[in-house]
Amino acid sequence: MSSASVPPLPRKFMPKALAAMVLLTGALAAPTASAQQKTGADDASYPARPVRVIVPYAPGGSSDAVARIVSGKLAEAFGQQFVIDNRPGASGSLGREIVVRASPEGYTLLIGDSPHTINVHVLKHVPYDPIRDFTPITLIATAPQVFVVNPNFSAKTLKEFVALATAQPGQINYGSGGSGAVTHLTGELFKLAAKVNIQHVPYRSIAIATADVIGVQITAAFPTIPGAVPHVRAGRLRALAVSSQKRAAALPDVPTFRESGVDVLVTNWFGLFGPAKLPPAVVARLHKGVIDAVNSPDGQARFANLSLDISTTTPPEFGKFLLSELQKWGQVVKAAGIKAE
């Protein structure tokens, strides 16, 4: 979440968001015996068959890695298979729509990430409401964006970069993983906060953009920390700032944007969702299962190896976080003049 002063939620989301919070509050209340009997979902019987975990991207990315860690641990704890189902397409919207259409019994789940609350602002057609159509179970992990340049670039610090960009408006560029991606919006937030004019160059993926920073084809990029750390440690990139509240454990010598005088705070996050109206008993059982999984010694080690910070929440806390993310990115998209595609 970005700066301290947050404007009201955009009007077009206000009715849905308020209604969603009412539903969320009711859904997380203690389940009654009659409700459990009606759904057939109680704390003792769930899961009674394999559970499908939708990852709305191709295998190999951070969402896929998070899903595999959590699913493996849940399978061990519950004695049922948690099967990863990679469904890439439409910036993750295809996979999310599968979950929206699933029966709310807890046998189709979603590993969601930052585009969950971004897509509605940058895509013309999104076949779901990111708040109303899902049950938030828990935030799982977070990672900051890292502002990187080639080691030979003249600016050695963020302050020097801002000074250079101010002196040369429109002459410096940055790459992203595509228009509307979090790596694009982080760049636009930086431009607004630092009051600089740098040019956006969209790529098919942030990995390709990062490779072009290494190859001096473009000046800068905002990859997530898992994608940046190996290159920074190897000396192929220089990290100027991280977008977290405090310095990242994986890059302790790199200051935050705020330390360097630029108010940029971006959380790239991963969380577990079910369809809307998921039974409270199922939510509670999954929530506990994830908490136990990620906080186990093996879970902690595997997330640390990915340079991800374990950041679990209660379901209501996750719901409030999603609303704040929806509001923040709507504000950035509007201020930057980004048009839906």
Look at residue 191 and tell me if it is in a domain. Answer: yes
Residues 173 and 159 in one domain: yes
Residues 158 and 303 in one domain: no
Domain boundary (242, 277, 307) is at: 242
- pLDDT tens for residues 229-240? 999 999 999 999
In DSSP notation, 220-259 reads EE--BHHHHHHHHHTTSSEEEEE-SSS--TTSTTSPBTTT
Residues 30 and 106 in one domain: yes
CATH number at residue 70: 3.40.190.150
- pLDDT tens for residues 111-149? 999 999 999 999 988 999 999 999 999 999 999 999 999
| 12 in Cβ contact with 77 (< 8 Å) | no
Look at residue 260 and tell me if it is in a domain. Answer: no
- pLDDT tens for residues 262-295? 999 998 999 999 999 999 999 999 999 999 999 9
Count Cβ atoms below 10 Å from residue 284 Cβ, excluding itself.
17
At a CB cut-off of 8 Å and minimum separation 6, what does 36 contact?
Answer: 42, 279, 281
Structural domain of 121: 11-143+269-336
pTM of the entire predicted model = 0.84
